[in-house]
Amino acid sequence: MLTVQNLSKYYGDRSILQDVSLHIPQGEIYGLLGPNGAGKTTIINIICNLIQPDRGTVKIDGELIGDATKSLIGIAPQDNLLYKGLTCWENLEFFATLYGLRGEARTKQVRSCLEAVNLVDRSHSLVGVLSGGMVRRMNMAIALVHHPKLVILDEPTTGLDIEARYEIWELIGQLRAQGTTLLLTTHMLEEAERLCQTIGILKNGHLLVEGDLAKLRQVIPAEEIVFMRTTAEKNAIERARELGFTERHYGNDLAFWLPEHKTLVELVNLFDGISIDSISIQPIRLEHIYIEITQAAQPV
Amino acid sequence: MRHWHETIAIARRILVELVRHRQSLILWSIFPISILILIGLILAEGTKISTTEAFRVSAPASLVGAALFFSCLGGTISTIVAERESSTLKRLFISPLSGISYFLGIFIAYGCIGLGQTLLVYTVAAFFDVQFSGSLILGAGIILLSIGSYVGMGFLLGTQVARQIEDVNGLVAGFGVPLLILGGAFFPIAFLPPPLLLITQFNPIYHMNQALLDVSANSKDLSDPDLILHFRFLVGFFVASIASGWLAYRRMLGQERRL
């Protein structure tokens, strides 16, 4: 559905994107992760034909991006770009008209979008009076109003409470079930882990890694991660090295990669003689992989 | 046909928001009426002409100066700046909306308001026995050219000069009020000293005002040399405003087309 090939973009001497290639098959959710300034929004701008790349191509449904591909894309930008002085219905009707929908087809589509985002009962409410979660759902409804083949969601749950976040996740799941192709950018790794079939991690304009979670997990050659709090950190690290564990710091937490499963009792025995305040075993999550890849987690 | 639907959608959106907010519409109604009545009464008293004659002279000035200037120029600037501030302009750029439809949508929205103000001003003037005795088509043409010129200038100022909504009032007052005074919107230019009279000849508001005044008096066609001069100046200003507004809009596209 979406094929990005060797995309490069420069602002003056500064490289924003460097040879980025990615492919999203029909009906998949692709999660694009990366720290601020990694180049995620630049990729979206290029896909939406808002800025031109210096090198590379973008094809949607086999067609090179241009004015003709605008109606193939629906985007829910990070900022909710809606007319607060119009009602939900009026906002959707306005954008549906811009995308060429007319008459009964437009009315039907507006209603169906409101149903999809569960805002039928707020159809005639001004967008300016809706809650944050509702506004975000309206933002998504606008992206869907013209039945796009590719939907781009730019940090769809940023700033939302947990309840509203679950509503958005449910909606994204429904879209995927309907066969919609989605490109999702997010800082919430839990979100990407939960929703995306393929994840790409971008940093400084480079796509560092791409693949499904199983492939990304290979970045950390371990079964589990043990988190430890101890006043004898130096001794713990020495012992861990003797045991063949790889040590890492995740924020203030000291952690070791376990090459094979161990029980807590076994671990406590292995660290016998070292004063341990707390210890826990956690599965490897996308956040650990992300930190490893973006090298935010430095070796101790 | 696509452009037409887009244009109507833009115009409708602007009008719906204006009707819903009400405040601007109320002010745009009160302001020209109060200016018309004030200027009419001051002229009648100060120049010792009849009340009807005073209102006949002040009606076109109140319309192109007080009414259309603030609604069509100020309104266009506000619309563009508000869209830019709320970033909805970016969403329009993502959509297949054409620039022509966007421009025409704003023109039609403020055209509707301008025509409403025309009816209002001449309805009030009619209470003072003022009649529009010239060519209605020519009069409508002058009003539409004035609206188009103001919208074009609004695009130029809204895209290139005003950065935020607070700039709009200062811009309209600082740029507009001297032009209105020198254009004879608030009092006849006969009161102006000779050096300022010379500047007036290059002031588009003066030509809008005089063209409408001539037509409303008795001109049935473009045979009067003075009217031809005003009309030519107005057409030239209309073309220049539209062209500069369009170029400014294109320039803004390059600056703002980013999420």
Predicted confidence (pLDDT) per residue in B8-38, tens digit? 999 999 999 999 988 889 999 999 999 999 9
The fraction of chain B above a pLDDT of 70, given in percent, is 98
Reduced to 3 states, what is the DSSP secondary structure of residue B1? coil
The region that residue A19 occupies, defined by phi over 0 for left and psi between -120 and 50 for alpha, beta otherwise, is: left
Pick the CATH number of A2-217 from 3.65.10.10, 3.30.2000.20, 1.10.150.120, 3.40.50.300: 3.40.50.300
**CB-CB under 8 Å, B87 with A84:** no
pLDDT of residue A300: 37
Taking an 8 Å cut-off on Cβ atoms, the answer to whether A98 and B96 are in contact is yes
| pLDDT for res B174 | 82
Compute the distance between CA of residue B162 and CA of residue B173 in angstroms, rounded to an integer: 13
Tens of pLDDT, residues A46-73 = 998 888 899 999 999 888 988 888 889 9
Confidence of residue A13 (pLDDT cuts 50, 70, 90): confident
Q: Is A157 exposed, middle or buried (0-12, 13-18, 19+ CB in 10 A)?
A: buried
B96 lies within 8 A of chain A by CB: yes
- What's the CATH fold of domain A224-282? Alpha-Beta Plaits (3.30.70)
Q: Give the lowest-confidence range in A153-162, B23-32, B45-54.
A: A153-162
Question: What residues of A are in contact with residue B2 (Cβ under 8 Å)?
Answer: 100
pLDDT at B257 over 80: no
Query: A51 and B91: CB-CB below 8 Å?
Result: no
Q: Which residue of A has its CA nearest to B89?
A: A81
Q: Which of A79-83, A173-177, B51-55, B161-165 has the lowest mean pLDDT?
A: B161-165
Neighbours of A195 (CB within 10 A): 21
Residue ranges, CATH 3.30.70, chain A = 224-282
pLDDT recorded at residue B258:
65
Distance from CA of B24 to the nearest CA of A (A): 14
For residue A143, the distance in angstroms to the closest alpha carbon of chain B comes to: 10
What one-character DSSP code corresponds to residue A245? P
Q: Answer yes or no: is pLDDT of B53 > 60.
A: yes
- Each residue's pLDDT tens digit, A203-240: 889 888 898 888 888 888 888 898 988 888 888 888 88
Could you state, in order of their start, the residue ranges of all structural domains in chain B?
2-258
**How far does the CA of residue A157 sit from the closest CA of chain B (Å)?**
17
Write down the pTM of the prediction: 0.84
Instruction: Say how far apart CA B72 and CA B90 lie, in whole Å.
Output: 23
Per-chain mean pLDDT for chain A: 87
- What tokens does B99 get? 């620039």
Residues 81-140 of A with CB under 8 A from B: 81-86, 90, 94-95, 97-100, 102, 126
Confidence of residue A111 (pLDDT cuts 50, 70, 90): very high
Cα distance between residue A201 and residue A185, in whole Å: 10
Contacting residues of B for A41, CB less than 8 Å apart: 259
Record the tokens describing residue B18, joined without a space: 């204006």
Task: Scan residues 61-90 of B and list those with Cβ closer than 8 Å to A.
Answer: 86-88, 90
Interchain CB contact of B3 with A (< 8 Å) = no
